[in-house]
Amino acid sequence: MSAPQILWLRRDLRLADQPALHAAAQAGPVIPMFVLDDAAAGDHAYGGASRWWLHHSLESLGHSLGKLGSRIVLRRGDATTELAKLANETGASAIHAIRHYEPWWRKAQTELKKALPSGCELCLHDGNYLAEPGSVANGSGGVYKIYTPFSKAVLDRMPPREELPAPEHIGSPEEWPKSDDLADWNLLPTKPDWAGGLRDFWEVGESAAQDRLDEWVESVSGYEASRNLPSQDGSSRLSPHLHWGEISPVQVWHRLADTRDEGWQTYAKELIWRDYAQNIIAEYPDYPLKSYRDGFESLWRSGADADADFTAWTKGRTGYPIVDAGMRQLWQTGWMHNRVRMIAASFLVKHLLIDWRRGEQWYWDCLVDADYGNNGVNWQWISGTGVDSNMFVRIMAPLTQSEKFAAADYIREYVPELAALSDDDIHDPPESR
């Protein structure tokens, strides 16, 4: 029997179009492994909503692997140490993993190469992006700081590679290494169980992602017209599936690209925002942690009043209906419509003058799609503090945006105390004027 191959799983929890699994399954018996490393990411350890999603995603992948006679070995601790230990225990000749760009994963990838026993190598595969960081450079060979030229350069390279099928057979090791029990990781909230809204809103896992994509094929042509309207189900809601790698952007691209209409073209550009964000954090690893333009530190309010305003924002009690609806949607469902994410973030920074990093951390804790690159890059974009061209003086006025994007029914759903107001009044209730 050939030597076992460890498959190091992170945000790539799928069987189809999983290049690391594909390579491992061809090379020998596979030991899929997930390490819960709570320390490595520091401030960006999994937030509450992410932990909830992770539990269900691992459970779902475990079932799918089980149908192929395989399973996931779960370990908790420092990822490098645990992987090297498993390689020693099993005599594995390789660890296969999809390349990740968060600074803590890059550090682990570097350290792991040194920590592995001789005879075991780390094989990193591209797999989660259309344009891996480093693969698209500007005229002088550097990273694109501005999204639009980056997006044009990526579109010029499309279509992406062919997608890979899920393996029909995955070999098992002679003996399975010991594993933690997923339930013992306590990823699900219990006291209190605040996840009821998430359970109602989401189906988690690879087959749920494929189902959502099937539905989305029917709707993508309307994307250009409806994507900014929070009262409609006008966007794909694939973001948590893409973030956790339950589906790859390559799969999404190939499934949708035949439509070739205006809706698809706009949608393709949104997918490329993901790649842009990864390119930015690969170049500026601390991007979600500090402003990349000077002069903002003295602007941010602090103290009891600012804290009270921040708390009101997190609870959806600012008195601005569109902002409150968004913040309550976030709390209930672990997701917020993109237009409203922008309005709520702009409100925190430009109306309340609160440091964007406090908002970034709140979104990080509450979003099921909380993504180091996407979250940090969008917060800096909204705040006008980043390397891109967006300026601080651009403000998203919540009252006019709410009206412009016909948010009345959305507000009624998430701020029920305003439900009786007319479409004209609900954006700016008369008693609060």
- List contacts with ligand FAD (CB under 6 A): 227, 235-239, 242-243, 270-271, 273-274, 277, 338, 341-342, 345, 363, 367, 369-371, 374-375, 378-379, 382
Length of the chain: 433
The residues near 395 (Cβ < 8 Å, ≥ 6 apart) are: 346, 350, 351
Residues 6+ apart with CB under 8 A from 388: 145, 146, 147, 380, 381
- State phi, psi for 9 to the nearest 5 degrees: -95, 140
Q: 342: which 2 tokens?
A: 């922008």
Distance from chain centroid for Cα 10: 12
Cβ 223 vs Cβ 264: under 8 Å: yes
Contacts (Cβ under 8 Å, ≥6 apart) of 283 = 133, 143
3-state secondary structure of 410: helix
Contact assessment for residue 25 and residue 170, using Cβ atoms and an 8 Å cutoff: yes
- Dihedral angle at the C-alpha atoms of 391, 392, 398, 401, nearest 10 degrees? -10
Structure tokens at 22: 């594909």
Cα 96 from Cα 20, distance rounded (Å): 5
3-state secondary structure of 275: helix
d(CA 105, CA 41): 8
Round to the nearest angstrom and report the end-to-end CA distance of the chain.
Answer: 76
Backbone dihedral angles phi then psi of residue 97, each to the nearest 5 degrees? -150, 150
- Report the C-alpha gap between 401 and 407 in whole angstroms: 9
Nearer to ligand FAD, 82 or 275 (CB): 275
The CA–CA distances, whole Å, from 127 to 7, 291, 342 equal 14, 30, 29
Q: How far is the CB of 128 from ligand FAD (least distance, A)?
A: 11
Q: Judged by CB, which is closer to ligand FAD: 92, or 281?
A: 281
Closest contact distance (angstroms) between CB of 167 and ligand FAD is 26
Backbone angles phi, psi at 211, to 5 degrees: -60, -45
